Copies of this chain bind each other. A is one copy, B any other.
Amino acid sequence: MDYGNILKNVNRHISLKKSEENYFTSLLIPREIEAKNLILVENKSCKHINYVHEGVFRAYSHDHEGKERTIMFAVNDWWITDIHGFFMEKPALMSVEAIENSVIFQLRKTDLEKLFVEVSRFERFFRILMQNSYIREQLRTRQNLTMQTEERYNAFVTKYPQFISRIPLKYIASYLGVTPQFLSVVRARKPL
């Protein structure tokens, strides 16, 4: 199994000895996921945090009328889970679906807790991972409160250019909090 990418991801923030790398990768559960399959289901328990080795995922919930709403995306080299369900050990509030055929490495919560004890530098790694996630999410909240749809869409395209070609527009619309029809109108407003 090719653990090069995930080790590079971790070593971006902390540096591990060979033995620690081996211990860490021994805890990972590799899985191949076909497009449209779920790695996490709403209302079920959420036992893993997932590193995306290859592919794309989206997390979604259902709104008050039962329609799907996209909470987040994850492409290669990102981590994804229902963070609330995972750490609070509560039923998941969202489902996570593969958009492409994908490969992930799963880390069980119990193993993550062992990892924190055995190699405490992983506390630092996850501190930075959670910190960056919080920053990203707070910036998104701020954009939702302060920007119009057109501005938010432009900001999204600028921030995540690699998403546009791999993620259907209907999911991007849902992530931005609008209908695909309205996103079409907004996109049509832009000449060039």
Contact = CB atoms under 8 A, between A and B. Distances in A.
Nearest to A84: B135
Given A124-B123, A126-B127, A88 B135 contact: yes
Given A63-B147, A147-B63, A71 B127 contact: no
A15 interface: no
B83 A177 contact: no
Interface string A83-105: 11001100001100000000000
B146 A61 contact: yes
A69 B145 contact: yes
B124 A130 contact: no
Contact of A83 (B72, B83, B135, B148): B135
A63 B152 CA distance: 12
Interface in A91-136: 93-94, 116, 120, 123-124, 126-127, 130-131, 133-135
A190 interface: no
A136 to B, nearest CB: 9
Q: Which 6 A-B pairs have the closest CB atoms?
A: A127-B127, A130-B130, A63-B146, A137-B137, A69-B145, A134-B134
